[in-house]
Amino acid sequence: MIEFDEQDFLKTYRGMEKFVTEEREYYKLFLDLLQNDALLEMIKFANDVLCIPPIKTFIIYEREFLKKNVFNKEMSSTAKRGLGACFGYLYKFIYKGYDSEQSWFNDCDEHKQKTGIKTASYFIKRV
């Protein structure tokens, strides 16, 4: 179980207050994730070994395995940036020793409702 310091997060990632307050649905999902050690280990494995952005693994898990509809709709830019910042904070300040690397995600589809996320970061452990 990971402790998330909201005040430090907001100090580190300035401008995320709107995400924490107005995009509460996504923020709460992230906080719930931090209580799920097994899922966190899967996300960390996918990131560390397969270079799959944590946000991608998280969204696919929520949408495909849990069948939640929250990621079946276009996310606001605030929600996309905020969720990305949460994963950045997790890897850079909680796990520590990681640098971010941008990759193509493309969770966009004109025929099905998707998040609209086009790029996401995966994290590389510094040696």
Which DSSP letter does residue 15 get? Answer: T
Residue 111 has a pLDDT of 62
As beta bridge partners, residue 103 has 120
Express each pLDDT in 72-89 by its tens digit.
999 999 999 999 999 999
Question: What pLDDT shows up at residue 108?
Answer: 80
Q: Return averaged pLDDT per consecutive 10 residues of the chain, 127 residues in all.
A: 93 96 95 96 97 96 91 94 97 96 86 85 93
**Residue 63 included in any domain:** yes
C-alpha to C-alpha distance for 120 and 35, rounded to whole angstroms: 23
Cβ 106 vs Cβ 82: under 8 Å: no
Inside any domain, residue 1: no
Helix, strand or coil, per DSSP, at residue 123: strand
* Residue 14 is assigned to a structural domain of this protein: yes
Domains held by the chain: number: 1
Residue-averaged pLDDT of the chain: 94
Q: Is 51:7 a contact under the CB 8 Å cutoff? A: no
Domain enclosing residue 82, as ranges: 6-125
Predicted TM-score (pTM) of the model is: 0.93
pLDDT of residue 17: 96
Question: How far is it, in rounded angstroms, from Cα 16 to Cα 87?
Answer: 13
How confident is the model at residue 102, as a pLDDT? 94
CA angle 88/37/127 to nearest 5° reads: 45
